[in-house]
C-alpha cells in the first residue's frame, strides 16, 4: 500500500491495549460463550427433535400394530358325534374333503356349539369365519368327528379388541366372563400373513396386497432397470453434445422431480383411457411406477458410471477393444454396484408409493390374491390407505400391523443398498 494513511488517524486518541481481564470484557466474553453454548444446544435439540419424531412414529406404529399379529381365541367344546355332520370320517382322507365338508353345514354346527358352550348369542363372540377353522381342524384329523373335542376358535373383533384392553363396555364384560371361565387364549395370527382383504377385521390378511406389491415391483424392475441402465450408459458414454442430448438430460432431471400423482394422471390418461389396458392391474401399476423409477436409476447410474476412472477406458481402447466392448466389458461391470444401490433405493421408493396407484384404480376391494399381472390387484401401501379409512375399530391395529410389514420391507431394502454400497464401493 503506497497510499498515505488517512488524515483522521492522526487525530484519533491513542488506543489503549484491550483490557482482557477487565470486568466489562470478561462479561462480554462470557456472554459470547453463553450464546455459543445456546446455539450449539439449539442445533443439538433440532437433531434430537427430528430423531425423536422418527422414534415416536416408529414406536407408536409398533405399539399399535404389534397386537395385530396376535388374535384372541376362545375354546369351544364340540360334541361331534351328536352334531348333524353327515360325513364319513373315512372318506376325508381323500382329495375331495373340501367338497364333502362344504355340504356338512359346518357354520350351523359351529353356531350350535358356540351357543352351548358360551351361552345364548354365543356365536356373536366368535369370528364370522370361525367355522373355517373347524373345517381345517376336521381336515387335519378326521378322527375328532368321533369324540368330544375342544377347539380354539378366533374371537369376534369386539372381543379381540376387548382382550387387547380397548373394547366397549359390553364387550369388556363379555370378555371378563370368558376370561374367568378360562376359555380365552392369545395366539400368533398366521392368517394375517396368509389371507387377503375382508370386510371383517378379524379375517383380514395382507397376503393379497403383498402379492400385488411383488407383481407390481416385478413389472417395474423388469422395465425400469434395463431402460434406466441403457439410458445412463448412452448419456454418459456415447451421447454427442447436441440439442437432443440436452433435451434428454433436461427431461430426465425434471421427471425425477415431478410429483408422483402426475405419473398417476399419465397412467390414467394413456394406459387406461388410450391403450385400454386392464384397470386395477399390476401391469399398469408397474408401468406407471417404472416411468417414475427410471429417472432415479438413470441419475444413480450416471453417477456410478462417472466414478469409473477414464484410465480403465483408455486401457481397454488401447489394446483394441471397440467402444461398445469397452463399456459392456469394463465400465458396466465396475459401475454395477453403484447402479444396483440406486436401483434398490428407487425400488424402495416405488414400493412405498400410493398416490399414482390410486389414480389407476388399484384401490378396489380385492378378496383373493391376484393370479397374474393382468388381474385386479392392490398393493400394500394402498391396502394401508384403504384400511385407514375403515370405520370399524378392529382395523386400527391391522393398519398398523400392515405398516410394520411395509416398513420391514423398506428398511431391509435400504439396508441391503447401504451394505452393497459399503462392500463394493471402490475409491479409485
For position 92 contacting another protein by CB under 8 A, the verdict is no
Instruction: Report the distance separating Cα 7 and Cα 198, nearest Å.
Output: 91
What are 59's three cell numbers?
414406536
Binding mask 344-373 for another protein (x = CB under 8 A): ----xx-xxxxx--xx-x-x----------
Of the candidate residues 96, 102, 254, 412, the single one contacting another protein (CB under 8 A):
254
Residues in the chain: 428
CB of 151 or CB of 401, closer to another protein: 401
Query: Between vectors from CA 82 to CA 79 and to CA 88, what angle results, nearest 5°?
Result: 100
Task: Output phi, psi for 150, to 5 deg.
Answer: -105, 120
Binding mask 24-53 for another protein (x = CB under 8 A): --------xx-xx-xxx-xxxxxx-xxx-x
* Inter-residue contact 384 to 406 (CB < 8 Å): yes
Of the candidate residues 22, 25, 26, 54, the single one contacting another protein (CB under 8 A):
54
Minimum CB separation from another protein for residue 377, in Å? 17
For position 253 contacting another protein by CB under 8 A, the verdict is yes
CB of 343 or CB of 354, closer to another protein: 354
Give the other-Cβ count within 10 Å of 335's Cβ.
24
For position 226 contacting another protein by CB under 8 A, the verdict is yes
For position 60 contacting another protein by CB under 8 A, the verdict is yes
Scan for cell 459392456, then name that residue: 328
For position 209 contacting another protein by CB under 8 A, the verdict is no
For position 230 contacting another protein by CB under 8 A, the verdict is yes
For position 105 contacting another protein by CB under 8 A, the verdict is no
Binding to another protein in span 265-284, by CB under 8 A: 265-266, 268-270, 273
For position 329 contacting another protein by CB under 8 A, the verdict is no
Binding to another protein in span 392-411, by CB under 8 A: 396, 399-400, 403, 406-407, 410-411
DSSP of 178-225: HHHTT-EEEEE-THHHH----SSTTT--SHHHHHHHHHHHHHHHHHHH
HEC assignment per residue over 355-398: HHHHHCCCCCCCCCCCCCCCCECCCHHHHHHHHHCCCCCHHHHH
Amino acid at each position: 500500500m503506497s497510499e498515505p494513511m488517512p488524515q483522521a488517524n492522526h487525530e484519533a486518541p491513542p488506543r489503549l491495549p484491550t483490557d482482557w481481564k477487565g470486568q466489562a470484557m470478561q462479561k462480554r466474553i462470557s456472554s459470547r460463550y453463553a450464546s455459543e453454548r445456546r446455539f450449539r444446544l439449539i442445533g443439538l435439540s433440532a437433531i434430537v427433535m427430528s430423531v425423536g419424531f422418527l422414534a415416536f412414529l416408529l414406536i407408536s406404529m409398533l405399539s399399535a400394530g404389534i397386537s395385530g399379529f396376535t388374535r384372541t381365541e376362545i375354546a369351544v367344546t364340540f360334541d361331534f358325534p351328536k352334531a348333524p355332520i353327515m360325513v364319513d370320517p373315512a372318506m376325508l382322507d381323500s382329495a375331495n374333503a373340501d367338497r364333502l365338508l362344504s355340504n356338512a353345514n359346518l357354520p350351523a354346527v359351529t353356531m350350535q356349539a358356540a351357543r352351548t358352550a358360551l351361552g345364548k348369542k354365543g356365536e356373536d363372540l366368535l369370528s364370522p369365519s370361525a367355522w373355517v377353522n373347524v373345517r381345517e381342524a376336521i381336515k387335519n384329523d378326521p378322527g375328532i368327528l368321533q369324540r368330544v373335542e375342544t377347539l380354539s376358535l378366533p374371537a369376534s373383533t369386539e372381543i379381540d379388541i376387548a382382550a387387547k384392553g380397548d373394547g366397549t363396555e359390553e364387550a369388556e364384560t363379555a370378555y371378563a366372563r370368558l376370561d374367568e371361565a378360562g376359555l380365552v387364549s392369545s395366539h400368533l395370527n398366521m392368517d394375517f400373513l396368509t389371507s387377503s382383504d375382508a370386510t371383517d377385521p378379524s379375517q383380514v390378511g395382507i397376503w393379497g396386497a403383498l402379492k400385488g406389491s411383488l407383481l407390481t415391483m416385478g413389472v417395474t424392475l423388469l422395465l425400469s432397470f434395463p431402460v434406466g441402465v441403457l439410458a445412463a450408459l448412452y448419456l454418459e458414454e456415447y451421447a454427442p453434445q447436441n440439442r437432443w442430448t440436452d433435451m434428454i438430460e433436461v427431461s430426465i432431471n425434471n421427471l425425477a422431480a415431478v410429483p408422483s400423482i402426475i405419473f398417476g394422471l399419465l397412467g390414467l390418461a394413456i394406459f387406461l383411457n388410450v391403450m385400454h389396458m386392464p384397470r386395477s392391474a399390476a401391469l399398469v401399476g408397474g408401468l406407471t411406477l417404472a416411468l417414475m423409477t427410471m429417472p432415479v436409476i438413470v441419475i444413480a447410474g450416471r453417477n456410478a458410471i462417472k466414478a469409473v476412472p477414464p484410465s480403465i477406458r483408455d486401457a481397454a481402447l488401447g489394446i483394441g477393444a471397440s467402444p461398445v466392448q469397452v463399456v459392456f466389458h469394463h465400465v458396466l461391470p465396475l459401475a454395477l454396484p453403484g447402479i444396483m444401490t440406486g436401483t434398490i433405493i428407487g425400488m424402495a421408493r416405488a414400493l412405498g408409493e400410493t398416490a399414482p396407484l390410486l389414480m389407476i384404480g388399484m384401490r378396489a376391494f380385492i378378496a383373493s390374491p391376484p393370479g397374474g399381472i393382468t388381474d385386479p390387484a392392490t398393493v400394500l401401501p394402498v391396502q394401508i390407505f384403504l384400511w385407514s379409512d375403515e370405520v370399524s375399530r378392529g382395523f386400527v391395529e391391522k393398519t398398523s400391523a400392515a405398516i410394520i410389514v411395509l416398513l420391514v420391507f423398506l428398511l431391509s431394502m435400504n439396508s441391503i443398498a447401504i451394505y452393497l454400497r459399503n462392500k463394493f464401493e471402490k475409491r479409485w
